[in-house]
A and B are shown apart, each in its own frame.
Chain A
Amino acid sequence: MKLDNKKFLMLASAAAIVLPVSVVSAATTTIDATATFRQAISLTPMADMQFGQIEFAATPTTGDTAALNTDGTMSYAGNFTGAASGTPGNVQINTGTDGETVEVSCDTTATMTDGSGASIQVTGIGIETEDNIDGTTGTPCAGTGTPSLTFNLDLGNTDNLILGGTLDGSTAVSFAGGSFSTDNAGGDDIEVQVVYQ
């Protein structure tokens, strides 16, 4: 009986020594580490959206609109008239990694005020890359965080984002003419956001 215990003890000790050796060997498997470096995106507003001088024949109401297209042309309806062209908004992507997919989102509306209580909204704000501008207000913005454009970044060719929009007479409040801007007190500008997909 004592002899049996000794044998068993020897066998068990041998097993305990052998087993850990094989387990430690499996744990030395190589682990790879990878990283992709992308240059941070930086934006610069290059041009504000300028509708220019707009003539109104009556107090603005529904149907009175002045549309500024991404190609700079303007079209009017209702009691609004004015110049044939304006300045669309322009945001430049200064830095980023070429070839990476980016998503662009923007505000759907903006509020211009005269700083004295009167206001009118820019609605139907749209956006396009510089190589896709046309006689429309652009691909409709859906609010920051909801992409309107998705494209592969190509700095030098698609790095300028052009914004259009429509002045909507139906949104006029306490309106009596004069100079209006989103930069005045109570105004709300147009925010453009670019993020890697």
Chain B
Amino acid sequence: MDERYSVRDAVHGFVKLNQLEWDIINSTCFQRLRRVRQLGWTDYVYPGAMHTRFEHSLGVMHVATRLFDSIVNKDREILRSEHQFNDAGFERQRQLVRLAALTHDLGHAPFSHAGEELFPINKKTNRRYKHEEYSAFIAQSEIGDLIKNHPLNKNNTGLAVDDIVSFFSPSMVSADTIVWRELISGQMDADRMDYLLRDAHHAGVTYGRYDLDRLVESICLCPDGEGGMTVGVDESGLHAVEGLIIARYMMFTQVYYHKTRSIYDYHYEMALAELLEKSKGTFPEPAKIKDYIAWDDWKVLGKLANGEGGEHGKIICDREHHRLVCWTPEVPSSEDIAEFESKAKELEKFNPVVRDASKSWYKFSNEEIRVKTENSSTPKSVPLANRSSVVNGLETINQKRLYVPHCHQKEAQKIIMSGRG
């Protein structure tokens, strides 16, 4: 499809778009993403981090396309034989990958992940809805007809919104798209590849940088050892993928789980609960999708400016956040956790708040990525840990932290110090 439009992106340069993508971008629900910040309240620590889901969505589409093209160029025959794909199918799948990447974040709440604990409970699953489910509902209800009736979708292309949604909806699966799901949400996905570079760029740090070009060159389908295929890298990409993982590790420790940034997620959640009081303290359900879409950063900021956010709204306005007084090591042992819990008990009278790295968005864990080996007659792959002592040495971060209100900081520190003595 003719890519006649382009947008100049801060990270990737010109991002090309066809008429269908352009029309989706101009829809009300996509424009809303201009009013949803990518990193919540991170600008309270890194003032440049004011970027939004709008530019990230364009970036994910751009990167996902590069990854898709690279895999198809290398592994076209495998895809033909294993999945019965053909040339027309590749064209269609490329477009589906682009649209899934473009729309995967439509469902984000104001200030992105920071408000997700206020999604309502799905009565069917007895769990909170996830932003991906909202993305699916929004895509189906707000742009489904646009896609179905679009002039570019009239030449037997057969693009259906359900195919797009099947990339990120937990209750849908499609044979056409499951192979590509890992490009949108997986160990080597375009989402991560974009947000690391973008967040680092806007925060003004270098921790998130890695060699995207080399990763694109080396990404491929790898045998998973059990008769299937998974997305991994060939051996030329070994050090680039190490770079990606180290970038995630550094961005997690220095930005996403920064001690001050992290406590603002708590203050925001409490303030937002006040703002949502009329709807039982949670966002509208996906069934009331128009009501949900009406919630964006502007609406929240207006209400906070009006003093509707209660005690925690005021803390955000004045930047008088709770202060960190004790913490475990990044990878705590059972003994470390027991010691932390005993300190937390001593500080109970200050109404402390505990934050846990394992519950943080963008948590850092050492996930398995496959590396395709080339020194045998039959294609094989091994986990990255087999080849990389650097990656082998990284452990999942599971740090716990305890904060107390600003006014109790000194007293709490005294109690902790006296315990140590």
- Whether chain B is bound by chain A comes out as no
Binding site for B on A (CB under 8 A): none
